[in-house]
Amino acid sequence: MLAVLLSGYSAIGADERTALETGFVSPPEAARPWVYWFPLDGNITREGITADLEAMARVGIGGVLYMETNQGTPPGPAAFGGPEWRSLFQHACREAARLGIEVRMNNDAGWCGSGGPWITPELSMQKVVWSETKVEGPRRFEDDLPQPDMLQDYYRDLGVLAFPTPENPAAIAGIQGKAAFAPIRGSLSARADWPELPEDRLVHREAIVDVSALMTAEGRLAWEVPAGRWTILRFGHTSTGKENHPAPEAGRGLECDKLSKQAAEVHFGGLMGKLIADAGPLAGKTLASTHIDSWEVGSQNWTPGFRDAFRRRRGYDPLPLLPTMTGLVVDSLELSERFLWDLRQTISELLLENYAGHFRKLAHEHGLGLSIEAYTTCPTDEMAYAGRCDEPMGEFWAWVKYRAGFSCTEMASAAHVYGRPIVGAEAFTSTNDEKWLGHPGNIKDLGDWAFCEGINRFVFHRYALQPCADPDRAPGISMGPWGLHYERTQTWWEFSRPWHEYLARCQYLLQQGRFVADICMLAPEGSPQTIEGQRAFLSKGPDSQELPFERPGYNFDTCPAEAILNLASVCDGRIVMESGASYRILALPRAETMTPALLDKIKSLVEAGATVVGSRPLKSPSLAGYPGCDKQVRTLADSLWGTGPAPETLTERPVGKGRVFHGGPFRFSLPPLSSESQGIAQSQWIWTHEGRPRAAFPPGVRYFRRVFTVDDGELAQARLSMTADNTFDCWVNGRQILSGSYFRKAYTTDVTEQIHPGENIIAVAATNTLETANPAGLIAALSLAYRDGRVVVIRTDSSWEVANSVTGDWQTATNRSDAWSPALEQGAAGVKPWGELDDSMTDDDLYPPIEAICRLLEGTGLPPDFSYEIGTRAATVRYTHRAIDGTDVYFVANAEPEVVQALCSFRIQDRRPELWHPRSGNIEQPAAYDEADGLTRLPLRLEPHGSVFVVFRAASAIEPDRVVSITRAGRTVLSTTEPAAGVTCTRGADATLALTTSEPGTYRIDRADGTHAVVESPKPPEPICIEGPWTVSFPRDGEEPVRIEMDELGSWSDHTTPDVKYFSGTARYRTTFQVDQAALSRPAVVTLDLGRVEVMARPRLNGRDLGVLWKAPYRADATAAIKPGENVLEIELVNLWINRMIGDERLPDDSERNANGTLKVWPAWLEEGKPSPSGRQTFTSWRLWKKDDSLQPSGLLGPVRIRSEMVVKAQ
Do both 1065 and 987 map to the same domain?
A: no
Considering the chain, what is the average pLDDT of its residues?
95
Q: Is the same domain home to 885 and 753?
A: no
In this prediction, residue 560 carries a pLDDT of: 99
User: Buried (b) or exposed (e) across 804-835, using 16+ Cβ within 10 A?
Assistant: eebeeebbebeeeeeebeebbbbeebeeeebe
Residue 1025: CB atoms within 10 Å: 11
Give the model confidence (pLDDT) of 619-670 as tens digits.
999 999 999 999 999 999 999 999 989 999 999 999 999 999 999 999 987 7
Provide mean pLDDT across the span 991-1012. 96
Closest-CA residue to 959 (of 938, 1001, 930): 930
Residues 372 and 496 in one domain: yes
Residues 985 and 1101 in one domain: no
Q: Which residue has the higher pLDDT, 538 or 126?
A: 126
**Residue 790, number of CB atoms within 10 A of its CB:** 12
Q: What is the dihedral of CA 997, 1001, 1006, 1010, to 10 degrees?
A: 150
Same domain, 749 and 891: no
Residues facing residue 1205 across a β-bridge: 1085
b/e 869-880 (16+ beta carbons within 10 angstroms → b): ebeeeebebbbb
Q: What is the pLDDT of residues 99-140, one digit of tens each?
A: 999 999 999 999 999 999 999 999 999 999 999 999 999 999
Largest CA distance in the chain: 115
Are 1099 and 1195 in the same domain? yes
Whether the Cβ atoms of residue 612 and residue 646 lie closer than 8 Å to each other: no
pLDDT tens, 728-767? 999 999 998 888 888 888 888 888 889 999 999 999 999 9
* Final residue in a domain of this structure, among 828, 850, 873: 828
Percent of the chain with pLDDT over 70: 97
Sign (positive or negative) of CA dihedral 1113, 1117, 1122, 1128: negative
- For range 7-32, the mean pLDDT: 77
Q: Is the pLDDT of residue 288 over 70?
A: yes
Residue 836 scores a pLDDT above 90 = no
Rounded to whole angstroms, the Cα distance separating 800 from 703 reads: 10
**1193, 1131 contact by CB (below 8 A):** no
Looking at residue 2, its pLDDT comes to 34
Query: What's the pLDDT score for residue 15?
Result: 54
Q: What is the mean pLDDT of residues 1035-1042?
A: 92
Cα separation, 64 vs 444, in Å, equals 21
DSSP-derived secondary structure for 848-860: --HHHHHHHHHHT
Cβ-Cβ contacts under 8 Å for 770 (sequence gap 6 or more):
699, 726
- Kindly report the number of other CB atoms within 10 A of residue 540's CB atom: 12
Q: Residue 546 — pLDDT band, cuts 50, 70, 90?
A: low
CB atoms near residue 1009 (< 10 Å):
11
pLDDT value for 955: 82
In a domain, residue 992? The reply is yes
Half-sphere exposure at residue 768, Cβ-oriented, CA atoms within 13 angstroms: 22
pLDDT digits (tens, 9 = 90+) for 936-948: 999 999 999 999 9
- Side-chain-facing half-sphere of 821: CA atoms under 13 Å: 11
Q: Residue 565: is its pLDDT beyond 60?
A: yes
Residue that finishes a domain, picked among 515, 546, 563? 515
Strand segments (E) across 927-992: 930-932, 935-942, 947-952, 963-968, 971-975, 984-987
Give me the sheet containing 963-968, strands edge to edge. Answer: 971-975, 963-968, 1001-1007, 1012-1017
* Span 584-629, pLDDT tens digits: 999 999 999 999 999 999 999 999 999 999 999 999 999 999 999 9
Question: Is 1 a residue whose pLDDT tops 50?
Answer: no
Confidence of residue 1149 (pLDDT cuts 50, 70, 90): very high
Identify the pLDDT of residue 16.
Answer: 63
Q: How far apart are CA 721 and CA 715, in angstroms?
A: 18
- Look at residues 828, 849, 883 and tell me which one is the last residue of a structural domain: 828
Query: Tens of pLDDT along 141-170?
Result: 999 999 999 999 999 999 999 999 999 999
Positive or negative, the CA dihedral 336, 337, 342, 348 is: positive
Co-location of 927 and 978 in the same domain: yes
CATH number reported for the structural domain that contains residue 265 in this entry: 3.20.20.80
Domain CATH for 1124:
2.60.120.260
DSSP-assigned letter for residue 12 = S
Predicted pLDDT of residue 542: 54
Residue 667 included in any domain: no
- Cα–Cα distance measured from residue 1083 to residue 839, given in angstroms and rounded to the nearest whole number: 70
Query: Strand, coil or helix: what is 132?
Result: strand
pLDDT band at 672 (very low <50, low <70, confident <90, very high): low
**Radius of gyration of the chain measured on its C-alpha atoms:** 33
Which of 980, 969, 975 lies closest to 1002 in space, CA to CA? Answer: 969
Per-residue pLDDT, 4: 31
d(CA 580, CA 569): 10
Sequence-distant (6+) residues with CB within 8 A of 96 are: 53, 64, 102, 103, 286
CA dist 1150 and 1033 (Å) reads 28
pLDDT at site 664: 95
Instruction: State residue 327's pLDDT score.
Output: 96
Has residue 638 been placed in a domain?
A: no
Domain that holds residue 1140: 1024-1145+1183-1205
How many C-beta neighbours within 10 Å does residue 1174 have? 12
For residue 842, is pLDDT > 60? yes
Q: Is 401 found in the same domain as 358?
A: yes
CB atoms within 10 A of CB 1209: 14
Sign of the Cα torsion 829, 831, 834, 836 reads: positive
For the residues of 647-716, what is the DSSP string, one character each? PSS-EEEEETTEEEEESGGG---PPPPPSS--SGGGPEEEE-SSSBTTTBB-SEEEEEEEEEEE-SSPEE
Strand intervals (E) in 240-324: 254-255, 287-292
- Domain count across the chain: 4
Say if residue 1045 is in the same domain as residue 967.
no
Instruction: Kindly state whether residue 545 falls inside one of the protein's structural domains.
Output: no
pLDDT bracket for residue 853 (50, 70, 90): very high
Task: Indicate if the pLDDT at residue 6 is higher than 90.
Answer: no
Whether residue 618 lies inside any domain: the answer is no
- 380 and 502 in a common domain: yes
In-domain check, residue 668: no
**289-298, 448-457, 670-679, 800-809: lowest mean pLDDT where?**
670-679
Decide if 206 is inside a domain: no
Confidence of residue 677 (pLDDT cuts 50, 70, 90): low
The DSSP H or E segment spanning 1044 is strand 1039-1046
pLDDT tens digits along 679-729: 787 899 999 999 999 998 998 999 999 999 998 878 888 889 999 998 999
pLDDT in tens, 487-530: 999 999 999 999 999 999 999 999 999 999 999 999 999 999 99
Q: Is 239 helix (H, G, I), strand (E, B) or coil?
A: strand
Q: pLDDT tier at 366 (50, 70, 90 boundaries)?
A: very high
1105-1123 residue pLDDT tens: 999 999 999 999 999 999 9
Task: Report yes or no: 1070 and 1030 within 8 Å, Cβ to Cβ.
Answer: yes
Residues 879, 781 share a domain: no
Domain of residue 945, CATH code: 2.60.40.1180
Residue 190 lies inside a defined structural domain of this protein: no
pLDDT at res. 1200: 99
Q: Are residues 1057 and 1136 in the same domain?
A: yes
